[in-house]
Amino acid sequence: MNPESQNLTRAREIVGALLSVVQKAAIGSSVADDNQVVAYDLASISAGVAAAAELVRHGDHGSGGDDLALVFAADVAADLRGRITGREALWGTDFHALDDVEAAIAAGRDPAMLEQVASRVAATMEAGSRNISEDLELVRRTFRQFAEERVTPIAERVHREDADIPEHIVAGLSEMGCFGLSIPVEYGGFAEGGADELLTMVLVTEELSRSSLGVAGSLITRPEIIGTAIARGGTEEQKRRWLPQIATGAKLCGVAVTEPDHGSDVAGIRTNAARDGDEWVLSGVKTWCTFAGRANYLLVLARTDPDRSSGHRGLSLFVVEKPSFDGHSWRVTQNGGGSIEGRAISTLGYRGMHSFEVTIDRWRVSAQDLIGEDDGIGRGFYLQMQAFANARLQTAARAVGVMQAALEAAVDYTGQRSVFGRPLAEYQLTRAKIARMAAFVAACRTFAFSAARAVASNGGQLEAAQVKQLACRAAEWVAREAQQLHGGYGYAEEFAISRLFVDARVLSIFEGADEVLALKVIARQIGA
């Protein structure tokens, strides 16, 4: 075994010191509610530290992983110092908590180190090695080829025109088994269990998102959510009725959970489901229902207990079948007067899938369309939260794809553009930016792989929340830095970086808003 490099040793020392600070500062849920500022900062730092630890764990696999681990760990340390300054007592520490690793931090923040990393990134367009098996690498390359040949050529048009995703994209991904990646093989999918079960989904999502978040990268999310809910809570008959249809892409999916007055506060939703013999009658308004027009199956979270004081215990999940519609508005009716109507919400980015406000008025579904049937009454919130772990993991992979695309765009543009008689890529500040961008890509990607293994082992709720929070914030920053390096052209729709920037902005909002994940999930779990 080769001895560990000096830079990896330094990174390991920084991570150890950071872990010590986080562990001492960990607070319980009651303190988190009373001291949200520190709780948010603690949760955010804990995500960075967890990612740094994973990057250190894999940093000795070559391709500059040791340098990237050091750069990222030093960056997290600098972030921590900024957050605790003036609040040392609230953190239960002092400004000197990291003094013992000061030399290691200085090495990771040395401009010469950043220039060294940037040179390697410029030569390869990659942020280190992925450290995956040959089989997984083949899958990754297959989907990258699909994305570059079919998605990239239409990404800008779909974005600028707010057009529908072309049918050939959906059909092509269906043929490749994209919608059945996490559905068990016995129900027509490709999931066979094992620690790496979700890695394929993560890799495929990144490659599709690298070409376009709105055209391809997000197509897997809704099948992930609805498929997980059915697999975990559905009856055997429901699994055999719904899952094969989802896995093959014969039935496209949408999710109707969020409401105009209840976003992350899912337990407060008002959409009502009233029992009427062998049927349930649904009424309410849902919002931000992405892909709801094209979807054949809508996963609807509704209140089956009319007593609102029951909170999340009164919610159940329904699979509502509807026709597929193109465009920005649609309406479907039932005999007897029931209707579902959708209106697309105009957005600054993340176009192609369209996010709808959906009005459900006295829509009747069979009692067999409630996931779990009678045994599923009141279990909707729990099934939804379990499904969100997969969705958060998948969203982190989407963020990594956007980051990778932004990094490549920055390297390509700065290599061609000259400023004051020199290529932009030769300036130290440019190189420092590119090195830090690459470190964030590497850390988030490695953490996503680790979280995927944790979730596949029926755990990983904390890790999925952490990597989602970290990667989505990082994607916005990386896209912003890449856009800045483009100068005025970064603000022009002629260059793809403008699309990447506005697409990245949504990532910290959906599938668990940044602040909610930090306060309600991460801070409470690390406090526990």
DSSP letters spanning 106-123: HHHH-HHHHHHHHHHHHH
**Cβ atoms within 10 Å, residue 329:** 12
**Cβ atoms within 10 Å, residue 136:** 18
Closest CA to 438 of 464, 491, 486, 474: 474
Q: Which range, of 189-198, 205-214, 301-310, 452-461, averages the lowest pLDDT?
A: 189-198
Q: CB of 191 within 8 A of CB of 197?
A: yes
Q: pLDDT at position 63, please?
A: 63
E strand or H helix at 253: strand 253-256
> DSSP letter string over 341-402?
EEEEEP-SS--SS-EEEEEEEEEEEEGGGBTTGGGGTT-HHHHHHHHHHHHHHHHHHHHHHH
Q: pLDDT at position 128, please?
A: 85
Q: pLDDT at position 1, please?
A: 40
60 versus 246: the higher-pLDDT residue is: 246
Q: Could you read off the pLDDT of 411-429 as tens digits, one per residue?
A: 999 999 988 989 999 999 9
Q: pLDDT at position 460, please?
A: 87
Q: pLDDT at position 388, please?
A: 79
Q: Which range, of 111-120, 186-195, 251-260, averages the lowest pLDDT?
A: 186-195
Q: CB of 50 within 8 A of CB of 29?
A: no
Q: CB of 435 within 8 A of CB of 115?
A: yes
Q: Could you read off the pLDDT of 12-40 as tens digits, one per residue?
A: 999 999 999 998 887 654 556 678 999 99
| Cα distances (Å, whole numbers) of residue 157 to 106, 241, 412, 489 | 45, 37, 22, 18
Q: What are the counts of helices (DSSP H) followed by strands (DSSP E) for the chain?
A: 19, 10
Integer Cα distance of 476 and 479 in angstroms: 5
Q: Is the pLDDT of residue 314 over 50?
A: yes
Read off the pLDDT of each residue in 310-326 and give the average, rounded to a whole number: 92
Catalytic residues: 511
Read off the pLDDT of each residue in 457-475 and give the average, rounded to a whole number: 93
Integer Cα distance of 475 and 43 in angstroms: 18
E strand or H helix at 49: helix 36-57
Integer Cα distance of 478 and 400 in angstroms: 10
Q: Could you read off the pLDDT of 142-198 as tens digits, one per residue?
A: 999 999 999 999 999 999 999 999 999 999 999 999 999 889 999 999 888 777 888
pTM: 0.94
Q: Could you read off the pLDDT of 210-220 as tens digits, one per residue?
A: 999 999 999 98
Q: Is the pLDDT of residue 82 over 90?
A: yes
Closest CA to 118 of 424, 398, 418, 405: 424
